[in-house]
Amino acid sequence: MKSSSNSGLVYSTETGRMCPDCRQPVAACACKAMPAILGDGVVKVSRLTKGRGGKTVTVVKGLALDATALAVLGKQLRTACGSGGTVKDGVIEVQGDHCDTVIEALKKLGHQPKRVGG
């Protein structure tokens, strides 16, 4: 097997995601090459149906949180709405039309959400 400078451990079941540059766990990364925050700080809540076979999804964008905090917040919002969903690329998706519920839950948690779109 050939060794490449691009190959290496990217995830460990013991420590989680690994930094590609310094090969340390992201929590203990020495070079801080991984982007910690994906968001502009303006929390936008919208409802989308495109590309989902007509199914409605409530989308939350712009949260200035790291990946772990975003996953925890996504879990809290899904629980508050009583539905499923996911967190992908810094965006929280909650299945169904729950814009009002999500906005109220975000306000209780100290964020200032804005409803975007119709």
Same domain? For 70 and 30 the reply is no
H-only helix segments in the chain: 67-81, 99-108
Same domain? For 62 and 17 the reply is no
Same domain? For 78 and 29 the reply is no
Read off the CATH number of the domain in which 111 is found: 3.30.780.10
What is the pTM (predicted TM-score) of this model? 0.66
Residue 56 identity (one-letter amino acid) = T
- For 7-30, the pLDDT digits (tens) are 566 666 667 777 777 777 777 777
**Averaged pLDDT score across all residues of the chain:** 81
Same domain? For 98 and 51 the reply is yes
Count of domains in the chain?
2
Range of the domain at 97: 43-115
- For 36-67, the pLDDT digits (tens) are 555 566 899 999 988 888 899 999 998 888 88
Asked if pLDDT for residue 116 goes beyond 70, the answer is: yes
Asked if pLDDT for residue 32 goes beyond 70, the answer is: no
Same domain? For 26 and 66 the reply is no
Same domain? For 18 and 62 the reply is no
Position 1 confidence tier, pLDDT thresholds 50, 70, 90: very low
As given in the structure block, the two tokens for residue 39 are: 């968001």
Whole-angstrom distance, CA of residue 82 vs CA of residue 78: 6
CA atoms 18, 21, 24, 27: torsion sign: negative
